[in-house]
A and B are shown apart, each in its own frame.
Chain A
């Protein structure tokens, strides 16, 4: 604890993991179906496919001296549920959300949208990064 007390101004990262299931189709609306199929293969199936997405939200800052918290995890969980899960879980990302009408719902773009949604709700003094797993073996981070 003595060592820890010397580091009161040091930053700590805290993480919250959530998950949601969704359907999507990788599709560039500026291209026709043939060009989409050529570039994106089976990921552009017009009947959609889907994933279990795992989301890891990373918040970095100096722990508050009174609470010892970087951020109340219950608060972070609530914000993530409201901003991400309620909008994306069991939805079709292309059809059921406002964000991907004109934006291709790749993992990269989904992570960027999630970042913007969360950033607006989290103290600007705290750093934010999101990691999104589309499968166990494919995942993205934003900001890079």
Chain B
């Protein structure tokens, strides 16, 4: 079994704000992350797939094709966007890094070819804050 990781990145605005709560309650729970006028991040995305290398190519999967899948189904929807307003798969959800990584998994999973498996996704919101999701 070999694990292959492709790294991509995107920049986006968001806020942590529960519309069912008062402004005061949001500020109490989310602090400055609840700023109504948004703030933003440079996100780093690590997508890891696993499987056995193809005997003919030596590849688990063409990393360039993996990059193309991530760009088409994830980066184009997120890069230079407002996550709360403009992203279809986050509508009605809190825009936490946790929910974002689950959403990215759901976007990617149907497009990963059958002979490899999506192993895990790591998403960095800042160099010191990141989440991981393994589809569990």
> Which of the four size classes fits the interface of chain B?
20 to 34
Q: Per-position contact with A for B34-48: 1 when CB-CB < 8 Å, else 0?
A: 010111111000000
Is B13 interfacial (CB 8 A cutoff)?
Answer: yes
Is A66 interfacial (CB 8 A cutoff)?
Answer: no
Q: Contacts A52-B126, A90-B32 given: A45-B39 contact, CB under 8 Å?
A: no
Q: For residue B12, which residues in chain A have a CB less than 8 angstroms away from its CB? A: 49-50
Q: Which of A56-98 contact B (CB under 8 A)?
A: 89-92, 95-96
Q: For residue B42, which residues in chain A have a CB less than 8 angstroms away from its CB? A: 51-52, 135-136
For chain A, the count of residues having a C-beta within 8 Å of the partner chain is: 22
Q: For residue A90, which residues in chain B have a CB less than 8 angstroms away from its CB? A: 32-33, 35, 39
Q: Is B79 touching A23 in the complex (CB atoms < 8 A)?
A: no
Q: Is A49 touching B82 in the complex (CB atoms < 8 A)?
A: yes
Residue of A45, A50, A92, A135 most packed against chain B (CB within 10 A): A50
Measured between alpha carbons, how far is A48 from B12 in the docked complex, in Å?
A: 8
Q: Is B38 touching A23 in the complex (CB atoms < 8 A)?
A: yes
Report the 5 A-B pairs with minimum CB-CB distance, sorted nearest first: A50-B40, A47-B82, A92-B37, A90-B32, A42-B80
